[in-house]
Amino acid sequence: LNLMLFFTWYGLNYKTYPTNDSIVQQLDMEEEYEEDIPITNFETTPPPPPPPASAPEVITVVEDIDDVEETVIESTETSQSEEIEERVISIEEANVEEEEEDIEVPFAAVESVPIYPGCKGKTNSELKACFEANVLEHIKNNFKYPDAALQLGIYGRVHVVFVVDKNGNITDIQTRGPAEILEKEASRIIGKLPKMTPGKQRNKPVNVKFAVPINFKYVAQ
């Protein structure tokens, strides 16, 4: 009976302790966990050196020995009255001449037609008819069929346009025809027209353009 009581008491007071393997395993896990954490190094930059101290400015006092002559600068600006006076003089002295435009008016539209010599003292409509009749008479009297055109059988109508300028002279003769030889003859005939009294528009002499055809036609006899 005493022996059974002893074993019962011993069993109640018996304690168990963990083995070294569990301790070692726990330590190993802690070592592995510590190795996984990266180590960050923080570098500290030293502060820049302070700037060198500036040398104190030395002010030298110079004694006023020589007397400096005062320079007087005269103003070059003109007064307002002088400027206005110069402008008035320049405007009065400037002679601006307006250039008259050379207006060219067709013969049928001009107010006063050029006057052919011998047609003075008549109405404007009569002066037109007289001008045209005298131009045609002039062409007939000065007409000459070119020999080369006769030999080559060249014929046709040459359209002639010319201008009686504001001085009454025959200018700007233009021809258009079937052959150059006929155009030259037509230009020669018109160039021999006499000087006329210039036509007028609004009582001012103007250039007047006139057109006339010259028909070169050979009639065999």
Long-range contact pairs involving 89-92 (C-beta distance under 8 Å, separation at least 24): none
Phi, psi torsion values for 60, nearest 5 degrees: -100, 125
For 75-119, the pLDDT digits (tens) are 555 556 555 555 544 544 445 455 566 789 999 999 999 999 999
| Domains located in the chain, CATH noted | 104-216 (3.30.1150)
Q: Which of 106, 103, 101, 126 is nearest to 115 (CA)?
A: 126
For 133-170, the pLDDT digits (tens) are 999 999 999 999 999 999 999 999 999 999 999 999 99
Give me 209's structure tokens: 């353009």
User: What residues contact residue 82 under an 8 Å CB cut-off, 6+ apart?
Assistant: none
Q: 208: which DSSP letter?
A: E
d(CA 178, CA 157) in angstroms, rounded, equals: 7
Is residue 13 scored above 70 in pLDDT?
Answer: no
Q: At what angle do helices 124-142 and 180-191 cross, to 10 degrees?
A: 130
pLDDT at site 52: 61
